């Protein structure tokens, strides 16, 4: 069997869902399980609705919900035709009524918690998966809707819940495997799950890719397909650099590194189940399904270019610590990391000197509290609006002088921190967010003016 995941733009309206029907139809002999995101922008809108309700502004929340209801009804009626839609309408209606009731409840309390946020967000994928499953049936594809909340069981860390793999795998075998064996296409929402007691959870923004990989891992898929709005993984984000080229083949390690350092095309956790079970991941374009996309496998063929791709992670804060008292006494770094651990805040890059440490973290609301705790250990300064640029490729480890080429090509960009070596396949550094477009274009020009035709297109 294979897993096919369709992102938000791939299910953004009736026309996009029609394309999904055709793409899936062509793969029926591979026994697909289909995982879908919410329709494009819906998750952002649900976040906004929850926040409005949290401010007791139920009028705004309900107005947004009405517009969303309209959009889903339109897509469904266009896909199903009036006859089928009349029967299906009641199902969507009861979901939207439940959403409105939830929003009114949140507005009455005047507070939105991570738990109620997840309840609100869960509607995006619940609705899209329902419509896609109905569209499959209307288009003659034998399909069944599977409620992700009954399969994707997580811990209770709302908004970024961690999957409980043993529990999930048992449920996938019990609920999804039999459908596949009967020739039915299971359809489920990505991104959402539930706790062991059935409370809805979400696994982090952009998490439908991860859901697809969890399902693929649990069912030992032959392949995980990530269908999106670009031709595959590219040499950089095409929105930043229109000259970006498609990468035909890339290794698990390279793709994982790129995803971790901001290549939004894959959620950073996607590669974990794939690597564990050695399942190839293909990134494909639902608007251009004939294109071969990118194949991500354990070993990629040799590439003549020094690097494969440039990733950018924005919204980074640099934290500088100057240890006046402890002068790098042993145990100092441990105490520093304990602070980040206490705030459950991952650190991306670290660099040290005799008396100072610089670290980068994702910008977040807890930074003042983190700085306050760090103040007890050292003098603290922090600055936001930074970005990590990360150049990835397996050749990095054996290309002499690569750092010189990188920094030489962006000589007039102010570089705040550098890291090379931790993984041997990346060079990363921190710059101001405002310098990102220029730096990426210069680097792209330097490293991809000529490309190895076996690897890039």
Residues that bind ligand ASP (CB under 6 A): 7-8, 37-38, 43, 124, 190-191, 205-208
Contact predicate 152/110, CB 8 Å: no
Cβ pair 255, 233 in contact under 8 A: yes
Q: Are 411 and 440 in contact (CB under 8 A)?
A: no
Question: Which CB sits closer to ligand ASP, 204 or 403?
Answer: 204
Report if residue 32 touches Mg ion, rule: CB under 5 A: no
* Using rule CB under 5 A, residue 163 touches Mg ion: no
> Between 34 and 241, whose beta carbon lies closer to ligand ASP?
34
Q: Which of 148, 164, 159, 158 is nearest to 196 (CA)?
A: 164
189 binds Mg ion (CB under 5 A): no
In the list 189, 206, 207, 393, the residue contacting Mg ion (rule: CB under 5 A) is: 206
Q: Which is nearer to ligand ASP, 208 or 419 (CB)?
A: 208
In the complex, minimum distance from the CB of residue 415 to ligand ADP, in angstroms, rounded to a whole number = 21
Helix axes 14-25, 58-109, angle to 10 degrees: 80
| 268-297 footprint of ligand ADP as x/- string (CB under 6 A) | ------------------------------
Residue 362 or 379: which CB sits closer to ligand ASP?
362
Cα separation of 380 and 220, whole Å?
48
Q: How far is the CB of 343 from ligand ASP (least distance, A)?
A: 23
Sequence length of the chain is: 457
Per the CB < 8 A criterion, the answer to whether 153 and 168 are in contact is: yes
Q: Tokens at residue 277, please? A: 């079970």
Q: Which is nearer to ligand ASP, 136 or 210 (CB)?
A: 210
Among 371, 365, 414, CA closest to 389: 414
229 binds, among ligand ASP, Mg ion, ligand ADP, none (CB under 5 to 8 A by kind): ligand ADP
Q: Which is nearer to ligand ADP, 239 or 304 (CB)?
A: 239
Query: What are the CB-based long-range contacts (under 8 Å, 24+) for 444-448?
Result: 444/235, 444/236, 444/241, 444/243, 444/244, 444/310, 445/243, 445/409, 446/405, 446/406, 446/409, 447/235, 447/305, 447/306, 447/307, 447/310, 447/391, 447/405, 448/235, 448/243, 448/245, 448/305
Nearer to ligand ASP, 43 or 116 (CB): 43
Q: What CA–CA distance (Å, rounded) separates 132 from 456?
A: 33
Q: Is 219 helix (H, G, I), strand (E, B) or coil?
A: coil
Tell me how far CA of residue 383 lies from CA of 320, 389, 440, in angstroms.
Answer: 9, 17, 21
Candidates 58-66, 236-244, 333-341, 427-435; binding stretch for ligand ADP (CB under 6 A): 236-244
314 touches which of ligand ADP, Mg ion, ligand ASP, none (CB within 5 to 8 A by kind)?
A: none
Task: Give the per-residue contact string, 7-36, with ligand ADP (x = CB under 6 A; - = no).
Answer: xxxx--------------------------
Binder of residue 236, out of Mg ion, ligand ADP, ligand ASP, none (CB less than 5 to 8 A by kind): ligand ADP
Token digits of residue 66: 């009405």
One residue of 58, 128, 129, 228 binding ligand ADP per CB under 6 A: 228
Contact with ligand ADP (CB under 6 A) among 214, 255, 263, 300: 263
Q: Which residues bind ligand ADP (CB under 6 A)?
A: 7-10, 37, 206, 228-230, 233-234, 236-239, 263-265, 309
């Amino acid at each position: 069997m294979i897993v096919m995941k369709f992102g938000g733009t791939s299910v953004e309206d009736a026309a996009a869902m029609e394309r999904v029907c055709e793409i899936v139809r062509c793969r029926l002999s591979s026994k697909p399980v289909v995982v879908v995101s919410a329709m494009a922008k819906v998750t952002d809108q649900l976040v906004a609705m929850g926040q409005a309700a949290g401010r007791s502004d139920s009028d705004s929340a309900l107005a947004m919900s009405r517009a969303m209801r309209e959009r889903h009804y339109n897509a469904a009626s266009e896909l199903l035709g009036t006859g089928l839609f009349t029967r299906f309408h009641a199902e969507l209606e009861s979901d939207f009524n439940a959403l409105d009731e939830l929003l009114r409840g949140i507005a009455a309390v005047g507070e939105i918690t991570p738990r109620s946020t997840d309840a609100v967000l869960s509607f995006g994928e619940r609705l899209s998966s329902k419509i896609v499953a109905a569209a499959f049936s209307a288009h003659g594809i034998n399909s069944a809707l599977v409620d992700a909340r009954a399969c994707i069981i997580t811990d209770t860390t709302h908004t970024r819940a961690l999957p409980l793999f043993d529990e999930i795998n048992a449920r996938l075998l019990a609920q999804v495997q039999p459908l596949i064996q009967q020739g039915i296409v299971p359809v489920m929402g990505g991104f959402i799950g539930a706790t062991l007691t059935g409370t809805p959870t979400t696994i982090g923004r952009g998490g439908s890719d991860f859901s697809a990989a969890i399902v693929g891992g649990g069912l030992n898929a032959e392949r995980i397909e990530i269908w999106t709005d670009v031709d595959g993984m590219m040499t950089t984000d095409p929105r930043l650099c229109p000259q970006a080229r498609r990468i035909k083949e890339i290794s698990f390690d390279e793709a994982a590194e790129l995803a971790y350092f901001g290549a939004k095309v894959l959620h950073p956790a996607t590669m974990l189940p794939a690597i564990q079970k050695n399942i190839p991941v293909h990134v494909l374009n639902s608007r251009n399904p004939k294109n071969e996309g990118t194949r991500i496998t354990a070993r990629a063929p040799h590439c003549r270019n020094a690097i494969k791709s440039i990733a950018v992670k924005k919204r980074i804060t640099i934290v500088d610590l100057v240890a006046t008292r402890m002068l790098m006494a042993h145990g100092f770094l441990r105490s520093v990391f304990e602070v980040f651990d206490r705030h459950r805040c991952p650190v991306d890059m670290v660099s040290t000197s005799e008396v100072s440490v610089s670290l980068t973290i994702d910008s977040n609301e807890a930074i003042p509290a983190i700085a306050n705790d760090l103040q007890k250990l050292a003098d603290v300064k922090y600055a936001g609006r930074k970005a990590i640029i990360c150049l990835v490729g397996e050749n990095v480890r054996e290309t002499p002088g690569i750092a010189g080429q990188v920094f030489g090509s962006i000589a007039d960009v102010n570089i705040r921190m550098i890291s090379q070596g931790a993984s041997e396949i990346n060079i990363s550094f921190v710059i101001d967010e405002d310098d990102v477009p220029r730096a990426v274009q210069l680097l792209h020009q330097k490293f991809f003016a000529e490309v190895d035709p076996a690897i890039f297109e």
